[in-house]
């Protein structure tokens, strides 16, 4: 009866172009599943649950995501400066208040399936987790974020977020009037050096090769700042300090000679990797491996699957932007579910038929 309601409303029709076999009806259903417990995922969870869509968020291994590494976040509109973890605590609390469930699970596989539920077929997603859980999701938001490439040298972990940074837009202000360095020789490194030049006393660009990967004209542009110095053939081998970072040890790639460079902060511009392998065979990706969004929405190329935050953003990578993406993704997903006939009435039927995922598990 219930699925007849769904089918009459056209629920099956939309997602049927890629189906991987008919599945049983024993698995529990999550109307809106969010994969990722960072700013984007939590913002989506708030909006999904506020719209009375039963919403479950699987956090993955890093509950809270990248922002928990930020000791001080001062650029989120309307929020006073505070540690990233405090922002995550509030976001989680807000999502829970509206009825979302937050579960510490790593999603290992998402398979589009035609599920046989109460004798009717519907095209949905079978979701598998690292703990062996299997659930059905009617719509999914991918908010799996990104991870910064690291130098993997001694001291990096110790000073991560407190001397070693990846976001000058976020942290340049903390080093006003001090000497700082940027590692990397591409366009991003140049952009970082220019951003830092607005605050720092001196900016040193450290490049391990004999030339920049960035456009050759930029070097003359950088010279005009007067405070940006470029050092070639330099590799960072150690980050040093006691409680506060005091400098770095460099190795000259030609001679092997080591030297100490006193700086207050090191900004890494050596790339970041979007965490998109989970869906790389399902949705279209950009050349940088980010999820490709369509039509200025948070829709992916796969119907019923949406994306938000750094997983789909190679350009801005800001918490405020991730939150906005999460909100948009939830609004898009809610609209999608409504368009498929997933009204509150259907949700109630799903619940009374005992088919909904038990939110307390």
DSSP 254-317: TT--EEEEE-SEEEE-S-EEE--GGGTTTS-B-TTSPBPPBTTTTB-SSTTEEE-GGGG-SS--
Largest CA distance in the chain: 77
Q: Is 16 a catalytic residue?
A: no
CB of 331 to ligand FAD, least distance (A): 17
Q: Which of 171, 310, 313, 325 is catalytic?
A: 171
Question: Which of 12, 69, 167, 179 is an active site residue?
Answer: 167
Nearer to ligand FAD, 15 or 323 (CB): 323
CB of 40 or CB of 117, closer to ligand FAD: 40
For the purposes of burial, counting CB atoms within 10 Å of the CB of 295, is it exposed (0-12), middle (13-18) or buried (19 or more)?
exposed
Residue 287 CB contacts under 8 Å (≥ 6 apart), including other chains: none
**Rounded least distance, CB 250 to ligand FAD, Å:** 23
Nearest to 338 by CA among 117, 133, 31: 31
User: Nearer Cβ to ligand FAD, position 46 or 69?
Assistant: 69
Residues interacting with ligand FAD, by CB under 6 A? 35-41, 58-63, 65-67, 69-70, 73, 75, 106-107, 143-146, 148, 161, 166-167, 170, 275, 278, 309-310, 317-320, 322
For residue 236, the minimal CB distance to ligand FAD (Å) is 17
In sequence order, the 6+-apart residues with CB closer than 8 A to the CB of 8 are 341
Compare residues 43 and 114 and give the one whose CB is closer to ligand FAD. Answer: 43
Choose, from 170, 310, 325, 332, the residue flagged as catalytic: 170
Radius of gyration, alpha carbons of the chain? 24
Q: Which residue has the tokens 């030297």?
A: 259
* Least distance (Å) between residue 287 CB and ligand FAD: 19
CA 266/CA 126 separation, integer angstroms: 43
Q: Indicate the residue among 48 and 145 with the shorter CB distance to ligand FAD.
A: 145
Q: What's the min distance (Å) between Cβ of 221 and ligand FAD?
A: 26
* Catalytic machinery residues: 167, 170-171
């Amino acid at each position: 009866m219930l699925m007849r309601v769904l089918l009459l409303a056209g629920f099956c029709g939309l997602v049927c172009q890629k189906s991987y076999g008919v599945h049983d009806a024993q698995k529990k259903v999550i109307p809106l599943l969010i994969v990722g417990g960072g700013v984007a995922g939590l913002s989506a969870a708030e909006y999904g649950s506020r719209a009375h869509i039963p919403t479950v968020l699987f956090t993955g291994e890093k509950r809270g995501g990248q922002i928990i590494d930020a000791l001080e976040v001062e650029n989120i509109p309307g929020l006073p400066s505070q540690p990233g973890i405090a922002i995550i605590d509030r976001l989680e609390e807000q999502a829970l208040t509206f009825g979302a469930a937050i579960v510490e699970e790593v999603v290992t596989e998402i398979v589009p399936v035609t599920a046989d539920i109460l004798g009717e077929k519907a095209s949905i997603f079978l979701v598998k987790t690292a703990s062996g859980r299997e659930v059905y999701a009617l719509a999914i938001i991918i908010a799996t974020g990104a991870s910064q490439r690291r130098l993997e040298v001694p001291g990096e972990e110790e000073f991560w977020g407190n001397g070693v940074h990846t976001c000058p837009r976020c942290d340049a202000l903390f080093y006003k009037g001090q000497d700082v360095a940027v590692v990397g020789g591409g366009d991003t490194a140049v952009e970082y050096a220019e951003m830092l030049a607005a605050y720092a006393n001196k900016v040193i660009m450290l490049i391990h090769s004999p030339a920049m990967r960035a456009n050759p004209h930029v070097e003359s542009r950088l010279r005009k700042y007067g405070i940006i110095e470029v050092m070639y053939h330099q590799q960072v081998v150690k980050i040093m300090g006691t409680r506060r970072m005091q400098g770095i040890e460099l190795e000259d790639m030609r001679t092997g000679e080591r030297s100490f460079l006193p700086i207050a902060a090191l900004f890494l511009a050596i790339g970041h990797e979007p965490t998109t392998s989970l869906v790389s065979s399902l949705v279209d990706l950009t050349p940088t491996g980010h999820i490709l969004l369509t039509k200025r929405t948070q829709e992916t190329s796969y119907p019923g699957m949406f994306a938000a935050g750094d997983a789909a953003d190679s350009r801005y990578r800001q918490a405020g932007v991730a939150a906005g993406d999460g909100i948009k993704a939830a609004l898009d997903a809610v609209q999608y579910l409504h368009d498929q006939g997933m009204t509150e009435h259907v949700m109630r039927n799903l619940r009374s038929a005992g088919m909904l995922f038990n939110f307390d598990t």
